[in-house]
Structure 1
C-alpha cells in the first residue's frame, strides 16, 4: 500500500514574484493620490480666480449706486378711485448726480394714474397694501426713466 501524501496549495501570495519589487504598488497609489489632490486644488484655485477676478464677484455687492443729485418735486394730482373716492398724490423724483436736464414728470404722472385709477380705497387704507403700491410705482418710474431717476419719494397720499 502506498502512502498518499497530502499537499495544501494556497492561492494567496505571501511573497513577491521573482524580479518585482514589492514596494512599487503602494508607491504608485500614493503618487496617484498626490496627483489627484494637486489637480483638485488647481481646479479650485482656477474657479476662485474666475469667480473673483473675471466675473467680478457677486455683482450685487460690486454694483455701485449712483450718487444722489437733485430732487425734482412733481405737482400733486387727483386720481379717481373706486366708488366715487379720489386720491390726492404728490411725489418727488430723486435724480442721479450729473443729470443735465430735469426729466419731464408727465411720464411718472401717467404711470401713477394707470396704477392707482379704480383702486379700492379700503385696500389702499391698509399700510402693507399702500407700501406695496408705492414700491411698484417707484419701480415702474425708475424703469421708465432709466438711470436718470434713482428713487421716488411720496410726499402726499390723501384719500377721500
Structure 2
C-alpha cells in the first residue's frame, strides 16, 4: 500500500527519524518502504530535513547558552558581597566564633578590608634625663662620657 507523498509529510517523517538518531540509510529504507521514491528525490528531502534539524538544534543550543550565562551571572551576583556585608559577617564571626583561630582570621580579614596599618617599628630617641624621670638606671651609663 503506497501513499501519495507530500513533500512536507516526507520532510516531517525524516525529521522525526533524525530526532530518533537514525542514519541516512536507515531513514531511506523506512521512508522508501512507505512511499517509493528514487535516491535523488530522497536526497532533496533529506537535505531539507537536515537543514531544519540543524537550525532547530542551533536555536536550542543558543537558548541553552543564554540560560547558562544567566545562571552564571546569577551565581556570581549571589557570591559577591559588598564591603559592608563582608564586615558584618566577619564581625559576627569575631563575636560568635567557636574557635580562637577563626576569630583571629576574621580580625585579620577586617584589618585587611579596612586597610588598617599598625606601625611595624617604633623609633624611640632618648635624649637624656627627662623631667619626669630624673634618674634612670638603664640609661645613666649611656650618656656618661
Shorter-normalised TM range = 0.3 to 0.5
TM-score by length of 2: 0.34
Which is strand-richer, 1 or 2? 1
Q: Say which one has the larger Rg.
A: 2
TM-score by length of 1: 0.32
Higher relative contact order (CA 8 A, sep 6+): 1
